[in-house]
Homo-oligomer: A and B are copies of this chain.
Amino acid sequence: MTVDRGIVVGLNAVIVALECDRPRVLTVSVPEGTPLEGGTAALDRADGPGSTALPTGPLDPTGDRTLELALRRWVKAWSGLDLGYVEQLYTFGDRFRDPAERQGGPRVISAAYIGLTHQDEPAGASVARWRSIYTFLPWEDGRRGRPPLIDEAIEPALARWVERGQKDRSLRRERASLAFGFGESPWDGERVLERYEILFEMGLVSERGRHGGNAGEQPGGRPPVGPDLGLDMAFDHRRILATALGRIRAKIRYRPVIFELMPETFTLLQLQRAVEALAGVRLHKQNFRRLVDKGGLVEGTGRMDLKTGGRPAELFRFRREVLLERPTPGVGLPGL
């Protein structure tokens, strides 16, 4: 038991890409017992049974001019990936997010960033792997209708969780309706974090070394019992991923970030599938087309894609000028 009770700062990257209509996130394997602040560079030797984590790297306090540049630097050095669009996501600093803190380890503060790329090359380092985002958050993929998981597995557990809340039953009921779209409340794709947090409080998803629920509701540290709610991640990285997905879903509606994930030219259906992949819902095809076209977000190239399986589709490209014309050029989600 060390007595270094200082504060340590790390950087986390949620690197997102699309492979056709599959939204991917770059993950690494970490061996059992890796401390949270250990940079990814130290993970190259990892191969044994461990868990999945987000890439993590250090800040060089005298070398890195900004946090973002530090992130770009070690992502590039470690995976060869040149990130295009990068934005700060959130800074995570809860106590015990690194379980080693319980044994006297330092408080670990992680500034997490989102990076979007369309280079889907497998990263050089062997520990890196692209995985579907919905591997970790399966209830978020509503492209084939409301996931049965919600009404079959989550809803009954939610009902019990609401009952367990002594004084704040109505508060819990309200939170649950709002987050999962029960009753009057509509489903809001952007409330990813709210859903995750409720599942965490219910004990249906766990974070390494911590446990959800009120004290006593669920013994800490053990894997959750109950329905299959996707793959776990090390530390609070699944929470970070949930935060990132919520942010991305919100952002595609008012900034043209979706094009960071697209190739130079694309058909309108490819673009629609990309938006759907991240938003987690199906969209109305004709109205989607109208929105991006009349909204000035894309322009035709005259060239055609002949491999559509049906009538050839025109290839479009992103119209950069739209940034100068409209205040909030997002893609809009014409629901189905």
A residues with a Cβ closer than 8 A to B are: 5-9, 59, 61-62, 64-67, 88, 90-91, 93-95, 106-107, 109, 111, 174, 177-178, 183-186, 188, 190, 323-328
Closest chain-B Cβ to A330's Cβ sits at a distance in Å of 12
A184-B324, A188-B327 known; A61+B107 contact, CB < 8 A: yes
Contact (Cβ within 8 A) B61 A5: yes
B59, B93, B174: the one within 8 Å of A7 (CB): B59
Count of this chain's copies in the oligomeric assembly? 2
Closest chain-B Cβ to A198's Cβ sits at a distance in Å of 15
Q: List 18 contacting pairs A-B, 8 Å CB cutoff, sorted by A.
A: A5-B61, A5-B62, A6-B61, A7-B61, A9-B93, A61-B95, A61-B106, A62-B95, A62-B107, A64-B95, A65-B95, A66-B93, A91-B111, A93-B111, A178-B323, A178-B324, A183-B324, A185-B325
Measured in the bound complex, the distance between the Cα atoms of B327 and A186 in whole Å is 7
- The A contact surface, by secondary structure, is loop
Contact (Cβ within 8 A) A67 B93: yes
A184 cross-chain contacts in B, Cβ below 8 A: 324-325
Measured in the bound complex, the distance between the Cα atoms of B66 and A95 in whole Å is 6
A59 cross-chain contacts in B, Cβ below 8 A: 7, 93, 107, 109
B7, B177, B324: the one within 8 Å of A185 (CB): B324
Measured in the bound complex, the distance between the Cα atoms of B185 and A5 in whole Å is 52
A91 and chain B: residue at smallest CB distance: B91
A178 cross-chain contacts in B, Cβ below 8 A: 323-324
